[in-house]
Amino acid sequence: MGTVAAHGLRKSFGKVQALDGVTLEVPDGSFFVVLGPSGAGKTTTLRAIAGLERLDAGSVRLDGRDATGDAPAARDLAMVFQSYALYPRHTAYENIASPLRARRRSSSEIAAAVERMSSLLHIERLLQRRPAQLSGGEMQRVALARALVRSPRAFLMDEPLTNLDLKLRVEMRTELTRIHRGLGATFVYVTNDQVEALSMADQVAVLKEGRVQQVGTPAEVYERPANQWVAGFVGSPPISLLACHAEGDRLVGADGWSLPRPRWSTASDGRPLLLGLRAEDLSVERRGDASLPGELYGLEPLGDRTVVDVRVGTQILKVKARPTVTGTPGEPLQVTVDLDRAHLFDAGTGLALPRAGG
């Protein structure tokens, strides 16, 4: 068992409201990602769950039992700290062994467990070094090993892969997903990297300024962002947002363009809206009945694809295209829009408009 639930967590540091009513339900055995930009309160949330932070309000339940006042040791959680927090006087081996030593395991059992972890995380050669003699990525892996070496109720991981180089990060991502499946344990994983969130998570909670913006599967968060901010934060290149309003069966842009009104749209006429268009739902290569007139603004070749910046009125649209696409800036273009996959937000509240027929 390993369910983690936080209800209405509030915490302020002086004038900064770090957590402003954070509620999370982490099901047993799930890979739960808390995604948010720097300063969103991700670390504070994890520390609150771990019992390291005294809360202003709210409760933490572990396996359904109230654990709000429990000491960290009594919660049976393991944590990877954002700053690693490796003990400076101890070797990597002793760091990894520490949770087992605290539980008075036999030294043969400890040796076996440390060896298992170090081969899993490719740090066999580093075991006799102290943290000062390790690189950032190596320290991060030792910190991971220290958490993974025992089987706690749940693992709390605070950006455990941020300091690894890209190749190792991709490798560790797969490795962690595999470890998670193998253990069947509950992971609460904090990151500001949406790729990590989308690729690893069963459930994502998007956090901003101490408030949960949306909880859902990666697909839900990506396909049905709850508000304009989530839409802008998740996805790369970022979603393009165009000011517009509905007029009969058309959407009319503030810059003068007009598109057929999406069938699913429930917006009333004249209400200020934002039309959200993701790069892959736009095309400069295909032709369709819904299109926007613009001109080429710039090209960003990314190897496997090229992002075409198109100026429509006063705004720049990011459009995904094949890597072979060419053009000169200023050249007129038609951008074809897949309206079924477009998003509409209330320009005032930023909330996504409900979709007719799901």
Partner 1 sequence: MAVSVGEAVSAGPAGDRTPPARRFGGRGRSVLEVVLLAVLAVVMLFPALWMIETSIKENRDVYAIPAKFFDFTVTMDHFRDVFVASGGTRSALSVSFLNSVVVAGVSTVLATVLGVPAAWAYSRFAVRAKKDQLFFILSTRFMPPVVVVIPIFLMYRQVGLIDTKLGLILIYAAFNVPFTIWMMKGFVDEVPAEYEDAAMLDGYTRLQAFWKFTLPLLLPGIAATAVFALIFSWNEFVFAIFLTSSDTVRTAPPAIAGLIGGTTVDWGLVAAASVVFALPVLVFAYLVRRHLVAGVTLGAVRR
Ligand X SMILES: Nc1ncnc2c1ncn2[C@@H]1O[C@H](COP(=O)(O)OP(=O)(O)OP(=O)(O)O)[C@@H](O)[C@H]1O
Residue 150, classified by CB atoms within 10 Å of its CB into exposed (0-12), middle (13-18) or buried (19+), is: middle
Using CB under 8 A as the binding rule, the residues of this chain from 93 to 122 that contact partner 1 are 98-99, 101-103
Q: Give the one residue of 23, 28, 52, 175 binding partner 1; rule: CB under 8 A.
A: 52
Q: Is 225 in the site for ligand X (CB under 6 A)?
A: no
Which tokens is 84 given?
């690693």
Per-residue binder mask for ligand X (CB under 6 A), 185-214, x = binder: -------x----------------------
Indicate the SS3 state at residue 2: coil
The item of partner 1, ligand X, Mg ion, none sharing an interface with residue 141, based on CB under 5 to 8 Å by kind, is none
By CB under 8 A, tell whether 73 contacts partner 1. Answer: yes
Among 30, 43, 194, 214, binds Mg ion (CB under 5 A): 43
Smaller CB distance to ligand X: residue 55 or 246? Answer: 55
Contacts of residue 173, defined as CB under 8 A and 6 or more positions apart, other chains included, come to 161, 196, 199, 200
89 binds, among partner 1, Mg ion, ligand X, none (CB under 5 to 8 A by kind): partner 1
CA angle 185, 41, 28 (to 5 degrees): 20
Round to whole Å and give the CA distance between 316 and 301: 17
73 binds, among partner 1, ligand X, Mg ion, none (CB under 5 to 8 A by kind): partner 1
Stretch that binds partner 1, among 43-51, 205-213, 234-242, 303-311 (CB under 8 A): 43-51
Q: Is 335 helix (H, G, I), strand (E, B) or coil?
A: strand
Residue type, 180: H
Using rule CB under 8 A, residue 302 touches partner 1: no
What part of residues 82-101 is at the interface with Mg ion (CB under 5 A)? 82
Q: 215 and 52 in contact (C-beta within 8 Å)?
A: no
User: Applying CB under 8 A, does 278 fall inside the site for partner 1?
Assistant: no
| CA gap 252, 273 in Å, rounded | 10
